Structure 1
């Protein structure tokens, strides 16, 4: 009953109670119904907190040149008194409008403006239209690590990458920043647009701002400025790991600036410009009220009146290089910051001294002439490397190229690699299971010289997922689904209905909201095109619907198991996969290929599921393995692992015992209850035998009770999930797989790679992997069959029957089947 109520009122509740959902619904309406308005430019800088940076530089140029008077300019602004002074000069212009961020008018303008210019990111509901031109100017040359180079969860940069993929143009001031886009954000091989490496429009403002006029503006903002003194600006970077959790460094900033002002205040004006993420916190402190530069003030105009810049890891120092004035790097937390965030340039390449105490900073200010002379060679080298294009005329070059379609040659990079095929793949949840192992192995084996691989998944939310994510080949990129889809209320209900009932009938097929799913793909991937889109998990309509909506030439869905049996599998009276799989079955006909993981499993799935798709769509690609890694993990020190499992009463496999091991999820289809019962019979004749069961799952309590009922607590051990199971496995004499059904069991391939003796139930998947008994003993899928296999092992009857498994040869065949289903 609760589920029905949630189904009925969920979308309406979200609309009424949650502003973020309401914005999405409203934006979707404007996006679908309103046309794009030519000659309209929509600007946003720093989430609407200011008119600043390169968007402001482009705006000023267009407004002040009559040949562009036909353009209508719309600025996104937050409601703030501080921005009024910047906005005031433009309010009287007929072709300039200001809209409040998040308002209905804001959403309309975002959905209908021809040109969109942002120096950071639009929010996660933004979707580019084909008719729109999105220019992302970004906001600085990076010193600190960016994108996938930032330590920790890689999903923290997802909205940035999403915006980049949506942009037609990215502005880059230098090759270093271009490399950050291509490598650190992994745009190389995927980004469809152009990177214009011609300098930053915003730096033009430093060249062209009248210092006297600007000092008067600062005085009007109630800042204490003496026009006869030189000016020091302290501009530390943001030290947080997310926008909502910026560290509060204000106590240190206030203490340091008070000291500096006491020491040099007679000769210098001292001002503070904090990062926008810290500004609202900073303005609460009355002690710096007359030193704190308002967030609405354009930083590059401000730099025109600065004589000495003090900073840490902020990109502001790169812009300041064009002034030829001195820079001091006050990095009191350098070691911590370097470890937590990372930096791209070694200290010897910084165009100024690195200082670790405020006393050193004060002394450096008093000795600034000598410091300037000492650092001239490094300063000039940095200037040549990072600001070579910044000559004060960047803005007209950019404007003419984008708005006039000027043929004047500029330094434009198009990162798309036409010679590589682009794969988009959903790997599943990256939990500890066979599908995850198979996927990780695939990324280790795929030929990255021929394929560009993007991995599409939810944000990682646990250490388990993050650890598996770390195991994925670094040449692949992760693209995370970071928020809710931009649907209408009606589309939300249709989506819910399809998840509940599938799309089996003519009526439900009409309800399938394909346009909503395509819009969601566009939201996440912008204008990106793929050659192949693959649902590698193959267990959820929730992800299959987005793979099917991908802008891709060919769409494939994996089938890792006997899926009809899996859909009917019951655990504690429930069938956990039934609804998901039945829903997935109903869209099988939309895929180009349905890929089982062995030829035998393909035949089984084709026979069982032929009503859902044409027979020719069923194919197979064998799971690949990583023999080198498997063997390396098996050779790791067992002592540390044993110390952990011994804490919970698990005995070490001893050489004088007969040790059996199995591995897999504790779930009905794995047949561990049959194996335990078979082992109980076998154990009566071999008292020195032990059985180790590696894995976790919903049947743990049931299996614990079974072990206790059979009085096998000292002989059968539920080991649990192990980060590296191979040292324990290889200490055992024989691997046993008791499954009732499988797709292509990775555990068998791993055991075979280690040269272990194997007993497995005679089911289609096991028979295929073991090649009808060539590499292991196949036994009847029953308690008696397993007992007989254990006895044969104990009597050494397997020694001369099995062939040697050569994993490299197997792997070559496996990858050939993968490339074949792609249609290479």
Structure 2
């Protein structure tokens, strides 16, 4: 025992400092948190980062250039982030004689200090996950183009791929938009409507000012000085494909395909044009290795919008570059060899027939088109003009000035401002739990799908979904619900990491813990995760861990609510394989119960039980109850859609109930509190008297092997079947004769409500939650909470089932009442 305690103590002491020393992401978060707390804000310093510190370009560059040259802003200091100082050499040399222009290596201490102390922060993508602007800092996210490709939650697949983008947007004071389509990207594709507390400035793009105002002669001269092959007597064709990969560490295949196509263009077009190649930053390093591209590859550091000034024909695919090029009135050719695959995997916002230029799937067709480019331009004139009206309507060369005057001086001018995006709905932030297959997840999904979304704006906050099981459940959540995730590490100093670990283990129970509780750290972390957002209600719907509660409690909300889905004192003491899996998590959570406004059980009986057993943690008036809602349409829809039984089951199981057998069915997690071991023992006695009987148990859990061994030892393997987790169990339930719930304790069992909705015969142990749901036996038979009680119940149903008929359950009326209890919980007290 002493050795075990020593090992735990050593781990407590060594792990945080070990991670700090050995893992850069831990060290960066801790160091930045320290500077965040210690450093003041210098309102005369502007910090810029472009594409993870890849260079000086895009919208941040246009803003920087304007401020640097304008006489009104000469007292500002400009700091640029660079990842590769060797590659940045020419850029640094260019500004060597500018004492107010500085450069910091990304992730260095100088970088972290600048990030934590600059008055203005400007980025065209995202800052890293540890970043959070301090109160008083102004964060301007310019983004990096009008989207042709689907963005944010519109992209198929795992919705967490944009987690840090959404987090950055919520933290920004200003988001820049060049047109209504990009504004819609923010509001709809990233679901900022109804949540974002900053301002969207829709007034054109600073970077397009560079395309309008830069002289073509200067661009050609600069390109020539960099060694690019340009004949002033020939037209210049720029091939600028986007990057379509997913893994930035393996870009070789993408680069090879682009090079192959580019050399076909060069070779087959002959010597009639200047050909330049501009690749995505992720591909530049690989492309720059090829000697054949030495005089054709545009350096990554060369600003794209300045480059466009010297281009006569643009060839591109899904890149947003073509939107910017519209201001030149020059022709655009779209080369999309992978159109169908890309539309299926990523998707686009526009049909190819709407694009302001011809679309080709073969590179040789692009070559054939070049000599007729003038005729084609006239052919696509109407589409081109329509695109200009839609996407570059604000572009007059003065967008940067309008934005600067608005942000720095509060001059509205002609800027279209979308302010706070308030929909008038009350905002709910809710943590649903791990979203694995269990009763809490079912209850949450039902609540979200029954909720009146015209009254409430809901953000679901959870961890990164790492399994198909979780992704499947996320897909069931109502589409109006916004998904927020928890990217990166918490923003704690190293001492706060230790304090957090201590609180996680012991809770906020004693005088020492009260003093150690890191309120400031948790408040800072809440701001990191949710930015400028203010919520009306925060709800820990899981109610099983201090880890998630601590992220919600710092919110300045009208009500903070913690759900209690079970007899939680019993849950905290539950033992599986000699361990108590919930003990530490629940012990810590109990100690912050009084920080919540309401502690919500899922039935009146469970509320009374929790109030009695946990009264030392919170006053009686904080205990409340909300009934679980159900989704009747989901319970019944399988029968309507798939009349054949095997189709209904989707091939998930091979067991088909036999018509001449009597089938008892149990559904729930294979866990000690569900009492399935007692049910199996009770059924063995029933089976000995009634060989026609069968027992089906649906669910997964830690006791699966133990229960299977019990079945085998009792010699009833041909009558008891563990069928595992079934995605759509209701077709199977409908073909069974009686539902049996054998639990030692419950909160408000969803499975009983579902069985009642199906009109099944029901047997349930006489515990508080079951008695409440069945209304004292109105909807099913309550039996003694023992093996003997379960046996007697099953025998009674088999031998005199007709006498045990229950009343029909009005599930519509129940669901209406259940939702009213939830709405009342929000409104009352």
Same fold, TM-score > 0.5, yes or no: yes
CA displacement, residues 648-687 of structure 1 (integer Å, 9 cap, x when unaligned): xxx4211211111010011111011111111111112211
Quick check: 1:317 aligned with 2:322? Answer: yes
Residue 760, structure 1, aligned to residue 764, structure 2 = yes
SS in 2 for 1:510: helix
Q: Which residue of the partner structure matches residue 346 of structure 1?
A: 351
Which blocks of at least 5 consecutive residues in structure 2 are unaligned?
none
1:706 aligned residue: 710
CA RMSD of aligned residues (A): 1.5
SS at match of 1:471: coil
SS at match of 1:760: strand
TM-score (norm 1): 0.98
Displacement of 1:638 in angstroms is: 2.5
Stretches of structure 1 lacking an aligned partner (at least 5 in a row): none
Match of 1:100 in 2: 105
Q: Offset at 1:291?
A: 1.4
Q: CA deviation at 1:80?
A: 4.1
- What's the counterpart of residue 687 of structure 1? 691
Partner residue in 2 for 1:812: 816
**Deviation readout 1:279-324 (Å, 9 max, x if unpaired):** 2222222222221111111000000000000000000000000000
Instruction: Report the CA distance between 1:81 and its aligned residue.
Output: 4.1
Q: Secondary structure at the match of 2:453?
A: coil
User: In 1, Cα distance between the equivalents of 2:195 and 2:800?
Assistant: 56
Show the counterpart of 2:674: 670
Is 1:638 matched with 2:645?
yes
1:364 and 2:361 aligned: no
Deviation at 1:245, TM superposition (A): 5.0
CA 1:180–1:259 in 2, change beyond 3 Å: closer, same or farther? Answer: same
Superposed counterparts of 1:8-407, under 5 Å: 8-244=13-249, 246=251, 248-407=253-412
Give secondary structure in 2 for the equivalent of 1:611: coil
2:755 to 747, 751, 757: 751
Q: CA deviation at 1:772?
A: 0.8
**Structure 1: distance between partners of 2:652 and 2:313:** 61
Q: Is the 8 A contact 1:421 1:531 kept in 2?
A: yes
CA distance in 2, matches of 1:31, 1:765: 49
Count of paired positions: 821
Give the Cα–Cα distance (whole angstroms) in 2 for the partners of residues 602 and 808 of structure 1. Answer: 24
Structure 2: distance between partners of 1:770 and 1:570: 28
- For 1:310 and 1:395, locate their aligned partners in 2 and report how far apart those are by CA, in whole Å: 27
Relative distance call for 1:613 and 1:242 in structure 2 (3 A) is: farther
Structure 1, residues 14-69: CA drift from partner, whole Å, max 9, x if none? 11111222111211111001110012111111111111111111111111110121
Q: Which residue in the other structure is 1:448 paired with? A: 453
Shift of 1:332: 0.4
In the aligned structure 1, how far is the partner of 2:81 from the partner of 2:503? 38
For residue 784 of structure 1, report the CA deviation from its aligned partner: 1.3
Three-state SS of the structure 2 residue aligned to 1:610 is coil
Q: 1:597 aligns with which of 602, 608, 612?
A: 602
Q: Deviations over 1:596-648 (max 9, x none)?
A: 0000000000000000111111101111111111111355442146684665x
* In 2: Cα distance, 1:111 partner to 1:489 partner: 17
The one-character-per-residue Cα deviations of 1:453-501 (angstroms, maximum 9, x if unpaired) are 0011111000100000111111001110011102111111111111222
Pick the aligned partner of 1:790 from 791, 794, 798: 794
Distance 1:603 1:247 in 2: 63
Deviation of the 1:91 alpha carbon: 2.3
C-alpha displacement at 1:156, in angstroms? 0.7
Contact in 2 for aligned 1:528/1:551 (Cα 8 Å): no
How far apart, in 1, do the equivalents of 2:359 and 2:42 lie? 51
Question: Structure 1: how far apart are the matches of 2:184 and 2:526?
Answer: 27
Structure 2: distance between partners of 1:738 and 1:712: 19
Task: Describe the shift of the 1:442–1:646 C-alpha distance in structure 2 as closer, same or farther (beyond 3 A).
Answer: closer
1:214 & 1:642 partners in 2: Cα distance?
Answer: 65
Q: Deviations over 1:73-110 (max 9, x none)?
A: 11112224443333433221222212121111111111
| TM-score, reference length from structure 2 | 0.97
Change (3 A) 1:509 1:773: same
Residue 74 of structure 1 contacts residue 96 of structure 1 at CA under 8 Å; is this kept in 2?
A: yes
Q: Aligned equivalents of 1:136 and 1:807: distance in 2?
A: 49
Q: Does 1:410 align with 2:415?
A: yes
Partner of 2:515 in structure 1? 510
In 1, Cα distance between equivalents of 2:125 and 2:579 = 48
Q: CA deviation at 1:228?
A: 2.4
CA shift in 2, pair 1:415/1:243, >3 Å: farther
Structure 2 residue corresponding to 1:617, chosen from 622, 627, 630: 622
Give the secondary-structure state (helix, strand or coil) at the position aligned to 1:93: coil
Return the match for 1:471 from 476, 487, 506: 476
Deviation at 1:266, TM superposition (A): 1.4
